Structure formats: C-alpha cells, structure tokens
Structure 1
Amino acid sequence: MTGLPILEISNLTKSYGAVKAVDDVSIHVERGEIAGLIGPNGSGKSTFFDCSTGLAKPDSGKVRLDGQDITGWTLNRIAREGRMLRSFQKTVVFKSLDVEENLIIAGQMFSFPWLFSTFGIGKLSRSRVSGLRERAQDLIRMAGLWDVRKQPAGNLSGGQQKLIQFASMLMPEPKLILLDEPMAGINPKIIERVVETILYANKSLGVSFLIIEHNIDVVTSICRRVIVLDQGRKLAEGLPQEIINDQRVREAYLGG
C-alpha cells in the first residue's frame, strides 16, 4: 500500500452542457509530494478539484485515495474518512472567534461528532479541549500568528486569515491537501509565510499537496512536479523548469 500514490485520478471527465470543463484527465500525487496544477483561467482546474473532492460528480473517471476508490463520495465523507481536504479561493474563518478558537473548532469538527462532546462540562470534555488547544498552539506558532492568537479573526488582514484557514486545515491531521490559489490577493511577506508553512507541513507533518497557483515563482520553488491544464485537457507534465521551457505551455499560459 505504501508504494501507491496518495492520490490517483484516472480519465476524469466533466461536462456542463456542451462545454467539456475537464476532458479525460489523468494525474497522480506521490506520497509526500508537493505537486502543482497550473493553467490559464477557464482551463478546468477548479472543476477538476471539485470532481476530485466530491463537490461535483464527474461524468466518468476514477478517483483513488491511498488505493481506495472514493469516486462518488461526498466532500464531507472524503474529509472525514479519507483525510483529504481542499481549500477554496474564498477565505472562510469564524470572524468573531479568536485565532486559537478557530483552530480548536476545526479540530473538534473532525475528531468528535457533536459540539457538546468537546465543549461540554466534565473531565472528558476538558481533556479533549486541552489536547486540541495544544495542537492548535503548535500550528499557530508554525503559521507565525502567535502574537495575534487572542484577537478575533475578523480583525486580521486577509493574508492572516488565509494563514488561519490553512492552519485550521492541519488540525485533523490530513494526509493530503488540495489548495486552490493560496497566494491570491496577499502581500509578498504573507506569501513567504504561507510558503514556509506549506513546506513545514510537508516535511515535518508528512502532508502531501496538490496546489493550483498562478504565482509561477512559488510553483517553481516548492513543487517537485507541475501539471498543466488547457481547455480541460492535460497539456504537459514534468519538472518545474521543463514546464517553464515548454513552448506549448508558454503559448497557452505564459503568453508566449
């Protein structure tokens, strides 16, 4: 089992009316890998994520996680049982709660079925909160948010909120995270911190990643392998420098 890719997607196809948003795409993500998924706007990247993570039902194709066929599973089931999580382009946090509370809630949503089981009264509840708080604090330090951990998330910058969201995704100890444009709309300093956090999660926590990203500098610096989509089909796949030098990619994505 350990020799299998963490994620293997075969012949995935999804149409909306006459438009083939994803057309017979096959990719894989190796265990422990950070892979990039790039392409021009409208190339099918987000639809590919939707079909891979249970948000949309593919017309055909197979999705295997850790060797298990999860095609047709719901987003919630994949997250709970498969431990594959995804982000969205829109950042979502609990704005009235502080940073630490955001992470604790993210952890309890996966670990315990009912809110009361974590935040209720009694020794067991206190023990659960203590365990979640300890993990939350470790991740807050990792994300560089320690000094603002007691501030309401809504008071922080958009970039800091992205870091909260990312740290929250690490609370349930996922095997694989799919990130949809994690660097969009944030300043260079926060981009640096997001990159450091992704690398830490990969190397120290063993999390594999598939990342949609338009920032080519980030893609080439952290991704071991890059996959390119264009008009719903896989155009190219290879090492970052090979992709940058591929004339087809330059024409389709980089402007020639």
Structure 2
Amino acid sequence: MTGLPILEIDKISKSYGAVKAVSDVSLHVNRGEIAGLIGPNGSGKSTFFDCSTGLQRPDTGTVKLDGQDITGWSLNRIAREGRMLRSFQKTVVFKALDVEENLIIAGQMFTFPSLLSTFGIGRMSKQRISGLRDRARELIKMAGLWDVRHQPAGNLSGGQQKLIQFASMLMPEPKIILLDEPMAGINPKIIERVIETILYANRSLGVSFLVIEHNIDVVTSICQRVVVLDQGKKLVEGLPHDIIADERVREAYLGG
C-alpha cells in the first residue's frame, strides 16, 4: 500500500437541527486495504457514509477520492464515475431477471451510454454483450452462484441476493467499495461466502473496502484497521484486536 490513500475524509461534520450526527470525523482508506467502521447504534456511521458518498452534503469537511476532491458531488455522479460505489442495508436486485442478467445490466449502466447501445442490433452491440457476459460469469463463479445463474433473482434467498448485489458492484471494476452491514440478516453459511468474496475481490481484483459491520468476528477476520465512532465522534482507531481489547470500546460499543 503505497502513495496517497484511495479515500481521504477530513473533518466531516453533519447536523440535523440541534442534533450533531457527525462531528469532525477524519478517516482514510489505503489502497488495497479493508478498513472497518464500527460503533453502537446511533453513533453516526450511516450518516458518515451518506456524507462520504454524496447522499448527504456535509456541513463541513472534505472528501477526496484517488486524490480528487469530490466534496459535494451527488451520489449519482460519484456512482457514475465507477471508482467508488456503496451498498445500502436494504438489498436491491432486479428480481424478475436471472443472476447473469442482473450483472450484465449493472455493467451496462457504467460502461455504455444507453440500453440501446448495449442491447441494440449489430456487431458492436453483440461484442459489448459478449464482454459483459464474460465478466459477469467470472464474478458469478467467484460469488458461488454458478449453479443458480439462470434462476430469477427473486427466487433466491436474501443472502444469495446480497451476493448478487455485491457481484454487480464489481462489474465496473471500482477502486473502492463502501459496504453498509453486508452480513446483516443472512445465515452463517452465506456469511462465510460473503467473507470469501470480499477477500477475493480485495486480493485478486485490488478493490479497497470500508465496511460498517456489527459482527465483531467478521470485523476481526477481514479488516486490517478499524475506526470506532461513538456519539458522532471518532473514539479510537487501530488494529482490530487492539480495538476490541480497548476499554473505551467495550464501554461504548460492547457494553463493558
């Protein structure tokens, strides 16, 4: 991990009326790193994500992606760039389309200017579809969804749909992905698959991650560094096992 961090967030603050949801929080993610963001409910994690990814505009502070100041950019503009993507706690897939079609559509949205340019008639259109299909199939295998690739996404479990969503996010080859509670509401077997998929994307595809997660076992197994928020402020930052052993974290997050 050399050079500038892929993501630099400096002194972000956000208030809603008299409530200060995030107060002067700074955080960075190095290239090739999986960083964790933890804290009790109401600590400001999701607001911090929203301000970092254009869903909300911060009151103060700056966000730099790959050295470029993107403070105030809209969520759509940041996503359209394809370099930084984020997930939400609610899983969203095209339920009537099969797994492979979900990924192809996701790739088309970032790669080509219109549906017509991808799915129109002609040699160029066929080449585009072929390229998207090849990448989609690679990612489907990575996510362990090969046997269900032609099933409608709506027929699959919630955990499998999370894997579809995650694989779809990899279609435009992003540099960093922000994941908001990727393990929430899925069974242990699927959690193992999600972990394997994140690690594969990080090690083999070079994708950096910032992950909000309540499952401490997951945090300690995949994250190289962890930042803890409490009451909208950064409480502590460090190596996962040091963070878990920190008395301040136990009081704020783990209940002592």
Q: TM-score normalized by structure 1?
A: 0.99
- Please say if residues 82 and 172 of structure 2, whose CA atoms lie closer than 8 Å, have aligned partners that are also in contact: no
Structure 1 match to 2:162: 162
In 1, the alpha carbon distance for the partners of 2:67 and 2:244 equals: 31
Percent identity between matched residues is 85
Q: Which runs of 5+ in 1 are unaligned?
A: none
Query: How far off its partner does 1:83 sit?
Result: 1.0
Name the structure 2 match of 1:25: 25
Whether the 8 Å contact between 1:45 and 1:212 is mirrored in structure 2 is yes
From the superposition, tell whether residues 82 and 11 of structure 1 become closer, same or farther in structure 2 (CA, over 3 Å): farther
CA displacement 1:199-245 (0-9 Å, x = unmatched): 00000000000000000000000000000000000001000011001
Q: Is the 8 A contact 2:82 2:110 kept in 1?
A: no
1:215 aligns with 2:215: yes
Q: CA deviation at 1:78?
A: 1.1
Query: What SS class does the counterpart of residue 85 from structure 1 fall into?
Result: strand
Equivalences for residues 68-147 of structure 1 within 5 A: 68-81=68-81, 83-147=83-147
* Residue number in structure 2 paired with 1:5: 5
Moved over 6 A (4+): none
Q: What's the offset of the Cα at 1:76?
A: 1.6
What is the DSSP-based 3-state SS (H/G/I as helix, E as strand, rest coil) of the residue aligned with 1:214? Answer: coil
> How far apart are 1:79 and its partner, in Å?
1.7
SS at match of 2:160: helix
Q: Any idea what the Cα deviations from partners look like across 1:113-154, whole Å, max 9, x if unmatched?
A: 101100111110000000000000000000000000000000
Does residue 1:41 correspond to 2:3, yes or no?
no
Distance 1:83 1:54 in 2: 13
Query: Equivalents in 1 of 2:82, 2:14: separation in Å?
Result: 22
Shift of 1:81: 2.2
Partner of residue 174, structure 1: 174
Residue 244 of structure 2 aligns to a residue in which SS? helix
Match of 2:227 in 1: 227
The alpha-carbon deviation at position 82 of structure 1 amounts to 5.6
Equivalent residues in 2 for 1:193-208, closer than 5 Å: 193-208=193-208
Alpha-carbon distance in 1 for matches of 2:74, 2:43: 24
1:184 maps to: 184
Letter of the aligned partner of 2:102 in structure 1?
N
Contact 2:96 2:153 (C-alpha < 8 Å) held by counterparts: yes
Q: Secondary structure at the match of 1:248?
A: helix
1:171-212, Cα deviation, whole Å (9 max, x unpaired): 000000000000000000000000000000000000000000
Structure 2: stretches of 5+ with no match in the other structure:
none
Give yes or no for contact 1:85–1:177 (8 Å, CA) kept in 2.
yes
Structure 1: distance between partners of 2:50 and 2:210: 13
> Counterpart amino acid of 1:240?
P
TM-score when normalising by structure 2: 0.99
Q: Is the 8 A contact 1:37 1:226 kept in 2?
A: yes
How many residues of Structure 1 are paired with residues of Structure 2 in the alignment? Answer: 255
Give the whole-Å Cα distance in 1 for the aligned partners of 2:112 and 2:171.
13
Contact preservation (8 Å) 1:65, 1:82: no
Counterpart-to-counterpart distance in 2, 1:125 and 1:42: 48
